[in-house]
Structure 1
Amino acid sequence: MTTVKKISMPHNGGTKEYHILSVVDETAGRGVVITRWGKAGAWGQCEAKNFENDDGFTLGSIVDDYFSQRMRDKETRGYKRPPRGVEELSYASLGDEALRKSLMGYERKIPEAMAWLYGGASDAATASPGAETDPVPENVDAATKSNPLWGTW
């Protein structure tokens, strides 16, 4: 069973946001907490902390403690918890397509932290360095589609 928890916390000033995402797979004995922060509406910066269960403790509780600690830290610094609270989702396995879709943005930004979820190198890690692999819209002309720098900004 794979559990995903996430929360988005806007700052009281309204100009910045802080996001926390945790993924725990108890059967594999691994977990990751990803924090993302920056200007409201922008992707911002990311940081990941990986956890492995090698000391006999329940991995879910260790990750939950770290997740809660990050939330409390941000609340004391002017970020507010939204009324809906923490969103928690459960997936049957790491191979679940819905899980992959919900984590796609993170996989592209921090592939080294997400690689274990997919059994090795993530799709983004195999792409050319520094390049984002955005799909080319249908209404783009042939000259633009053939440009090797398309979508890398």
Structure 2
Amino acid sequence: MSIYPIKSRAVTLDHRGGTKSYHLVLIEAANGHCVVINRWGKTGAFGEIKVETFDSPIKAQKAWDKKEREKVGKGYAQKGGTRDRTAADVSELPKVVDAMTFNKMGASAVKHLDPAFDTSGMREADDPQYDEETGAKLDTARKADIADAIEAQRIADAEKAARAYDDNDLYGRF
């Protein structure tokens, strides 16, 4: 059975205070495999993302409806209409979700939808982490260790400056 077309439905919910947004995306493949993406954060920022996979459109729709009811009950209201998109083949799949969300949803979720999709170079989605005692959100952003790169750049700059002084016949004459 073919997995295409893959359909996507997305809504944006804004909080009545105007500073927070919640985005819900339901992606359904023709074989019945589904992914629900929950994305939230400050309005205008990408924010946090949570990705859930389902083997049944009914279970995915229930999860979608439950989260939508929860958010509406907490003061969120839908902004704009529902955005429906369809991917007819593998080249259109990233556009259906939107490129930034697609890159962050994780390789396993993409493989759940389309097992033949090339996910080399894709990372897994990072679930938000919370402190067990206080419930405060922990900063789990992946940070590169750039100390070695900074030191190498400093040495390269010093060598370049030394070569520039050596190559300048006028250096030190004034």
User: Of 107, 110, 113, which residue of structure 1 is paired with 2:105?
Assistant: 110
- Give a deviation string over 1:79-123, Cα, whole Å, max 9, x none: 1012x4322222334x1x333124321232232343314535625
Residue in 2 that maps onto 1:99: 93
Identity of aligned residues (%): 25
User: Of 57, 62, 66, which residue of structure 2 is paired with 1:65?
Assistant: 62
- Give a deviation string over 1:19-61, Cα, whole Å, max 9, x none: 001111132x311100000011000000011001xxxxxx333
User: Of 35, 43, 46, which residue of structure 2 is paired with 1:40?
Assistant: 43
Task: Tell me whether 1:75 sits opposite 2:75 in the alignment.
Answer: no
How many residue pairs get aligned? The number is 121
Query: Quick one: distance in 2 between partners of 1:68 and 1:39?
Result: 22
Query: Quick one: distance in 2 between partners of 1:89 and 1:51?
Result: 19
- Please provide the CA RMSD for this pair: 2.7
User: Of 13, 16, 25, which residue of structure 2 is paired with 1:12?
Assistant: 16
**Normalised TM-score (structure 2):** 0.59
Residue in 2 that maps onto 1:55: none
- Contiguous gaps of at least 5 residues in structure 2: 124-141, 144-174
Query: Quick one: distance in 2 between partners of 1:77 and 1:113?
Result: 31
- State the AA in 2 paired with 1:18: Y
- Contiguous gaps of at least 5 residues in structure 1: 53-58, 132-153
Query: Quick one: distance in 2 between partners of 1:108 and 1:99?
Result: 11
Residue in 2 that maps onto 1:49: 52
Q: Cα gap change, 1:75/1:26 in structure 2, threshold over 3 Å: closer, same or farther?
A: same
**Normalised TM-score (structure 1):** 0.66
Residue in 1 that maps onto 2:34: 31
> Larger Rg: 1 or 2?
2
Is the CA contact 1:111–1:124 (under 8 Å) kept in the aligned structure 2? no
Higher helix share: 2
